[in-house]
Structure 1
Amino acid sequence: MKKSLKLQLDEARVMAAAALRRAQEIGVAETVCITDEGGFPLVLERMDGGRVTGPQIAWNKGFTAAGHKRSTHLFTTPPNGPALPGNEAFGIQLSFEGRFAAFVGGFPVVVDGEVVGGVGLSGGNGEQDIQCGLAALAALQQLLEGQGHQVLVQADIKK
Structure 2
Amino acid sequence: MHTVHRLTLEDALVMLTAAEEEARRIGVKQTICIADDGAHPIALHRMTGARLTGVEIAIAKAFTAAGHQRDTHRFNEPPNGPALPGNEAFGISHMLPGKFAIFVGGFPIVYEGEVVGAVGVSGGNGDQDKAVGAAALRAFQEKIATA
Q: TM-score range by the shorter chain?
A: over 0.9
1:36, CA displacement in angstroms?
Answer: 0.4
Alignment partners' CA distance in 2, 1:100 and 1:132: 20
User: What one-letter code is carried by the residue in structure 1 that aligns with 2:19?
Assistant: A
Q: Matches of 1:116 and 1:58 in 2, distance apart?
A: 17
Amino acid aligned to 1:132: V
Q: Which residue of 1 aligns with 2:51?
A: 51
Q: How does 1:145-156 map to 2 (within 5 A)?
A: 145-147=145-147
Equivalent residue, structure 1, for 2:68: 68
Cα distance in structure 2, aligned partners of 1:27 and 1:120:
18
- Normalised by the length of structure 2, the TM-score is 0.98
Q: What is the CA distance between 1:95 and its match in structure 2?
A: 1.5
User: Per-residue deviation at 1:99?
Assistant: 0.9
The number of aligned residues is: 147
Instruction: Give a deviation string over 1:20-49, Cα, whole Å, max 9, x none.
Output: 110000000000000000111001010011
1:62-101 aligned at under 5 Å gives the runs 62-101=62-101
Deviation at 1:96, TM superposition (A): 1.7
Cα deviation per residue 1:69-121 (whole Å; 9 max; x = unaligned)?
00000000001000000100000011223311000000000111010001000
- Cα deviation for residue 146 of structure 1 reads 2.4
The one-letter code matched in structure 2 to 1:125 is N
Identical positions, percent: 56
Q: How does 1:134-153 map to 2 (within 5 A)?
A: 134-147=134-147
- 2:104 maps to a residue whose letter is V
Q: Which runs of 4+ in 1 moved over 4 A?
A: none
- Structure 2's unaligned 5+ residue stretches are none
**Residue in 1 aligned with 2:125?**
125
Root-mean-square deviation (CA, aligned residues, Å) is 0.7
Aligned counterparts of 2:97 and 2:30: Cα–Cα separation in 1: 24
Separation in 1, partners of 2:27, 2:85? 35
